[in-house]
Amino acid sequence: MAMRLPINLKFAAIFDNPKRLESMKVKVLLLCSILLATGAPLNAQVTGGQSAFEFLSMSNSPQVSAFGGVMVATPQNDVSLVMQNPALMRPGLHDQLSLNYNSFYSDISTMNLQYGYYVPKLNTSFFGAIQYNNYGSLVATNASGVVTGDFRAAEYAFTVGASKKYGEHWRYGADIKGAVSSLGAGYASAVLMDVGVNYYDTSSLWDFGMVARNMGTMIQKYTEGNGNEPLPFDLRLGISKRFKHVPLRLFGTIHHLADWDIRYDNPEDKITTNIIGTTDTDKSNSSHTGDKILRHIIVGAQLTLGERLVITGSYNFLRRKELLVTSKPGTAGFAFGANLNLNKLQVHYARTYYHVSGPYNELGLSFVVHKWVPTGKFGTKKHWNADYPDWD
């Protein structure tokens, strides 16, 4: 009993002290997120192009594209961002719908839809989303290369999630998604989950976010008997800061935290080995530590012009390094965007430079549904047409 008494007193002191209790809860919440992330199968921790359902890593809106393709820490009023971090869902996004349909490279069509809803009785914000990629019609051949017809290919995912407030500044959230890939008459499917936390201080205007994305397993494989394909797991950490007296927000994101070396070993690369610029093609002569670090980072800034126009610019180090043409570097890795905030509608535009061959342009819309569609007495009874504080 002498050994147990001090421990019991210590726990009693924690639960009797609200500040200590809040601090302990936050630490436990962060620890759970980290454990969930690091507990994912090691074979799922791979970079782009090496996993199944890679389309889940694509940007889901022009707003996200303008942020460099990833954004887990921003308090902006756009429900599409909850697909980057479910903890960003909140009461202020109640009844908001975000949608975009664009033509990607090589006639690939992409469609994304997100919707948010807040339930006061549960003090919980819910959301749902649909992602769809249509790759169109492809030529089918046999093993000898003889054309036998054509077939269609597409991928889509359905997501549902929720988030809750925790303490004064924290929110936590999670979602579950079902993904399907169809290739002609065959298909594959998987179930995945995202878990995230977000900290936002309305006074200092700092925002921190962390999310573990695409943890899960395959349900149906194209070829039965084969092992499960790796999924596009990613552990991300983000930070943003808006200045009180300057209409400027700076942001940075670190992705693939669970994978140190995401560098593509290109034998054609030339390596600078000293200060005067001598090059060496033997890649074993350099550790590339600086390059390995930078490939995990996305940085950018956002400028608010008046009350209606927001301009965003970002730089994705990994995208530039992987898609750069040495003889003509151009603007690969950069992305720009603009948001026009009208009375009942937000118009989002993004221009992303993947490659020197040409930029990708996106257009999207987001709006509060009940401001366009009357809900009547039923909507009033169900709080459908209610407006809630954004970060309550």
* pTM assigned to the model: 0.82
Distance of CA 254 to the CA centre of its chain: 11
So what's the pLDDT on residue 336? Answer: 97
**In Å, how far are 37, 82, 121, 287 from 170, measured between CA atoms?**
19, 15, 19, 39
Give the mean pLDDT of the chain.
83
As given in the structure block, the two tokens for residue 175 are 């979602």
Residue 35, SS3?
Answer: helix
Confidence of residue 35 (pLDDT cuts 50, 70, 90): very low
The arithmetic mean of pLDDT across residues 324-330, rounded, is 78
Give residue 159's Cα distance to chain centre. 13
Tokens standing for 240?
A: 């943003």
Q: For 214-235, what is the mean pLDDT? A: 88
Predicted confidence band of residue 380 (pLDDT cuts 50, 70, 90)? confident
Highest mean pLDDT out of 31-45, 195-209, 262-276? 195-209
Q: Which fold has domain 15-257+296-381?
A: Porin (2.40.160)
Distance in angstroms (rounded) separating the CA atoms of residues 64 and 75: 13
pLDDT tens, residue by residue, 170-215: 999 999 999 999 988 888 999 999 999 999 999 999 999 999 999 9
Give me 211's structure tokens: 């999310």
Q: How far apart are the first and last CA of the chain?
A: 45
Above 80 in pLDDT, residue 12? no
The DSSP 8-state label assigned to residue 253 in this structure reads E
Q: Which residues contact 54 (CB under 8 A, 6 or more apart)?
A: 48, 232
Query: Domain map of the chain by residue range?
Result: 15-257+296-381
Is there a contact between 156 and 178 (Cβ–Cβ < 8 Å)? Answer: no
Cβ partners under 8 Å of residue 38, min gap 6: 235, 258
